[in-house]
Structure 1
């Protein structure tokens, strides 16, 4: 299942439907990209010929950049114009890094006999070419759908589902981190690699300058900090990064809530590690009717965020690897600014969010920027580990040394404690015998 980030704006969960409720949206896709009225028929005919007996039907939810058909319970057939063509090499790279959490995509070729009509909008890149892809489904349902189905579940079940999701996301981020590559600056002194900057990677400085038009001083302070740290971020490790990490693109098991995979990798590219961490914030709350700005964190969002970092850091450190936390935090802030500070206008992303027009986005932008940092969460993990070590050391001193130098026990307890120690040793010897 590969949709572009634009597709996510109209949904990403495909399910078969006998009568498609969005025929107008489908026709708008073909018209917007400059195809004449016969192009959809040509795509449908391609599906019938290539997959006879499949009874191909339009997916119940269509995207901005593609036309998608259900051809079986396992596969989707997707048609994309030249402007939104997928890089199949990148698709394979995604699969090799993220394994079961990423779909398998196969390029089938082009639709023949496609005609292009005159397009009045000069901004639309038109080409008389329609590319075809076969996507293997990732099992499960989108997190957004899962939430709707479980609105009335018990509090303990809800907590369990959320913890499972955070654990799954930690695994996904750990996979990406393990496959990181050196920055462009490091590659000047290292052998040539395969990483190349994509659309966002090439334009981070331009986009940050665009964000200088944000409406309030507090937001502009974050922009200034990001501009000051951009060189550090660009010099950090880069990972193959999902382009639109939102609840609609996270697939979970319908019964257990375990993360089964991510869809919508069409905008994937190499970016500094941490730029997709806005996705963690996205699932720590949801739009609430009672919330002033729409989005509201769950009551246990701090606990869930900490769980994510505890599991992520434990995973990468088990591999003997370390992460530069301050660089990751700078990249996290940059990712939040770029994904929530720039407005989406029917496919165009050339203006910053505005007060009175994008208030819900500004509200979310502020919440995410003010969330506990990577460094804070990591320190909590370290302090908790140190506390456990200290506690165990105290217990050992109480048991073996009468509590000297410890908050437990005192010198007066030493005789009794030694007796307990001798009893323990004697019993251990008897058990061994």
Structure 2
């Protein structure tokens, strides 16, 4: 892999050069100065974001996420567009600045006894999704969603090494049970619930925000539970490493989750944990350029590293 040096300025310049927009960085900076800067407002509690036409935010999706996770999802609104009439424009969004630091960096400075607070916060986050999915059924094209899930699993069955195929087959066999009736919720699911999109209070480990809902979609509950494993361990050059007391923290997650939602039958809990397995397969087994939408795949097609799948399945 070539050695690349990244900088904020070069990334911004590449964005404007590659976007093909009829606007310049200076023009966007000027718009920001006349309304908000990147981080602005009297209390520096606002963010202004410029997005290409191919990456627009769905206002209904953001509103649904906010309704489901009131304290964690920032409000967002479109405030205008910038660019010429004869060329592509950038859409300008204003959103709340969520307090906290990215979990990807802040978690390493947490005392071990505070790391469990990330897990407990995640349990409450997922419990909110479950309760909303049970109480308020969103209009979903179940036939289309089932077909999309089948296509993803067929893709995995045709591209993953043999050692993973029994797990894929088990998930494929379970798929109809997530759709057969209303007993299992289909919920708005974050497409990329990685540590960069999770903000935490660095002094306590409590989650303060979940950001970037741009590609969220309706999925069977649990497809984003890979976030739990990411809170219990980390991948390094030497492979996956579980944190101390990872199993105790996992038990805390399920204890809090079930306390928040009431109770789960043994069969429901089994379906949830199989949905977690499905999410791990989809995230770490799907190539990032596979063309599937709704759930982000992160596997690099230029390599054969299946370390995440080997560690988490």
Q: TM-score range by the shorter chain?
A: 0.7 to 0.9
- In the other structure, the counterpart of 2:32 is 47
| Gap regions ≥5 residues in structure 2 | 1-5
Aligned to 2:3: none
Please give the alpha-carbon distance, in whole angstroms, between the structure 2 residues aligned to 1:287 and 1:169. 20
1:277 and 2:248 correspond: no
1:176 corresponds to: 129
User: Number of aligned pairs?
Assistant: 299
Unaligned runs of 5+ in 1: 1-19, 57-68, 117-127, 188-192, 370-433
Q: Give 1:244's match in structure 2, choosing from 192, 214, 218.
A: 192
Stretches (4+) displaced over 3 A:
193-197, 199-202, 320-323, 347-356
Partner of 2:116: 163
The answer on whether the counterparts of 2:129 and 2:188 sit within 8 Å (CA) in structure 1 is: yes
**3-state SS of the aligned residue for 2:148?**
helix
Q: Rg: which structure is higher?
A: 1
Is 1:204–2:149 an aligned residue pair?
yes
Aligned partner (choices 288, 300, 310) of residue 366 of structure 1? 310
Contact 1:214 1:220 in 2 (8 A): no
1:139 match: 99
Secondary structure at the counterpart of residue 71 of structure 2 = helix
Instruction: Work out whether residues 241 and 268 of structure 1, in 8 Å CA contact, stay in contact via their aligned partners in 2.
Output: yes
2:298 is the counterpart of 1:328: no
| Structure 2 counterpart of 1:303 | 248
Shift of 1:24: 2.0
Task: Give the structure 2 partner of residue 314 of structure 1.
Answer: 259
1:31 paired residue number: 17
Task: Report the TM-score when normalising by structure 1.
Answer: 0.63
What is the match of residue 40 of structure 2?
71
Whether the 8 Å CA contact 2:21–2:83 is kept in 1: the answer is no
Secondary structure, aligned partner of 2:70: helix
Distance 1:220 1:32, change over 3 A: farther
- Cα offset, 1:28, TM superposition: 1.9
**What is the Cα-based RMSD across aligned positions, in Å?**
3.0
1:348 and 1:29 map into 2 onto residues whose CA distance is 22
Q: TM-score when scaled to structure 2?
A: 0.85
1:208 positional shift: 1.3
Q: How does 1:208-287 map to 2 (within 5 A)?
A: 208-235=153-180, 236-287=184-235
